[in-house]
Chain A
Amino acid sequence: MTDRRSLFVGGAAAAAAGAALFTPGQAAARPLEDVLRANELRVGVNPTLPPRALFNDRNQIDGFEPEVAAAIARKLGVPLVLQAVGSPDRIPMVASGRIDFVMGAMSRTSERAKVIDYTVPVHSENYGILAVAGRGHTTIESLNKPEITLAQVRGTTAIPYIAHAIPNAQVLLLDNYPDRNRAIAQGRAQASFDGVDSVRFSLRPFRQVQWEVTGIAEYGVTYSGLGVAKNNHSLRNWLNIALYELHVDGTIERAWEKWFDGPMITKVPHNAFF
């Protein structure tokens, strides 16, 4: 009897936990008017992706994306609240209204756009090969061999492309870019095929290694926008106008040059009609 009772209690607790997990309940993103009424813009950034976002010397979130977010908040006329987000929680954070939009290298893909709405692009992402210099790892063909291990960061958009275009290479999925760079420097992997925009920043701690970065045009360019909750049209429309203005007046390009040590490799073709 005791066993049955404990089984029932355990089952009920599991069911309650499951219900809480599977039913987001009243969670809802805030439309523009609610953001204005609350007098606070909440933005999610990922501080493990420097220089897009990082923790500065005072342990505050800083970087390219916080700077753009601050410019957006100024245009809206409300204070900015930055929220650190990670890969698994960023979409639930937007959908539940804990943040109004998410940044953090939100590359636009048709698969991802089924779940989240994107604004117009904030910046481009350009791809290439990172390797130790002089080893000949400068083309996709040179990487497509079983003896080649590519060190990649888990969750990046280059991974499906590698599975398709570099199928013979081994792939080592690591947690962040410093670990990726360390793995190549230590010989655990030979190269990486990924975005090369932030490579100058992330290679700073590895000055003893002679690096070689080769741009690969055939992959094309991806664009990152702001991730807004599905169907939050009022906020997304306003953000599109604000981003257009920030592109035109050069705010975004200036912030990019400041944090990425150079101009955006592919300029974002901004347009007044969207």
Chain B
Amino acid sequence: MSYTLIYSQVTGHIPYLLAGAWLTLQLACISFFIGWAIGLVNASLLVYGPRPARLAVRAYVTFFINTPLLVQIFFIFFVLPDMGILLSPYAAVAIGMSLNAGAYLTEIQRAGFGSLRRAEMDAAAAMGFSLVQTIWYVVLPHIAKALYPPLANQFIIQVMTTSIAAIFAVEELTGRAYNVNSLTFRALEVFSITAVIYVLLTIACSLALALLGRWLFRVNAKVF
């Protein structure tokens, strides 16, 4: 009476699952890049901004790091419509994930700014660099190297986090796995194939990020 794995019952659904993986990747990219931009602005304000701006950023980071992403998206998806703001499922999830990622990426980028040595800035000033030149030739090359590995890690986390979108009617990989499971009842087969797709997706992303890091910033990133 032990369970017999029969993959042939679900292999016909693999193209459907792969289309969901594409949506997963899109959602991860959008939320990561918006989150990165939010984090960059926030980190700059934390390091260089006036006190009210620093307090506002602190409040944002504290709120989004200390509440679950599920609750944040639930608020955007179900509470905002009662205030007259009706967003599509995709937009609600993308905004929720971006705001959440923004909080983590604020902290990551603040740490990167913090790693900048005073002597480097003094040297730039001694050479008569303008603010733009200082940022372009001194600040960016330094923090890019320091920040690239944690940023790449955060991107992989974003890929995994997209699975939460299934709860909010976005048909990404996990949502589609649930659909196929309910149709076939082949939970072990469906979710093991889904797991393999996630592994391949994250390995592909890691490889791409490692190559990009070596090419752009000469970061010696490892995949395995």
Contact = CB atoms under 8 A, between A and B. Distances in A.
A99 interface: no
Given A92-B188, A111-B185, A173 B179 contact: yes
A182 B182 contact: no
B222 interface: yes
B179 A231 contact: no
Interface string B28-40: 0000000000000
A211 B171 CA distance: 28
B3 A6 contact: no
| Chain B: interface size category | 35 or more
A239 B175 CA distance: 34
A69 interface: no
A: contact size bracket:
35 or more
A172 B89 contact: yes
B179 A155 contact: yes
Interface in B1-42: 1-5, 9
Interface in B44-100: 78, 81-82, 86, 89
A266 B158 CA distance: 47
Contacts of B192: 21-22
Contacts of A10: 224
A29 B4 CA distance: 12
Nearest to A229: B1
Contacts of B175: 154, 173
Contacts of A28: 1-2
A88 B224 contact: no
Interface stretch (A112-120, A136-144, A190-198, A243-251): A112-120
Given A112-B185, A154-B182, A156-B182, A6 B224 contact: yes
Contacts of A218: none
Contacts of A187: 81, 86
A41 interface: no
B183 interface: yes
Contacts of B177: 88
Interface in A1-40: 3, 6-7, 10, 14, 21-22, 24, 26-29, 31
B152 interface: no
A198 to B, nearest CB: 18
B195 A21 contact: yes
Given A3-B222, A159-B182, 11 more contacts: A27-B2, A31-B1, A87-B181, A91-B186, A114-B184, A154-B179, A156-B182, A174-B169, A175-B166, A231-B1, A232-B1
14 contacts: A14-B199, A21-B192, A22-B5, A22-B192, A31-B1, A87-B182, A90-B187, A95-B3, A114-B184, A154-B166, A154-B175, A172-B169, A174-B169, A186-B82
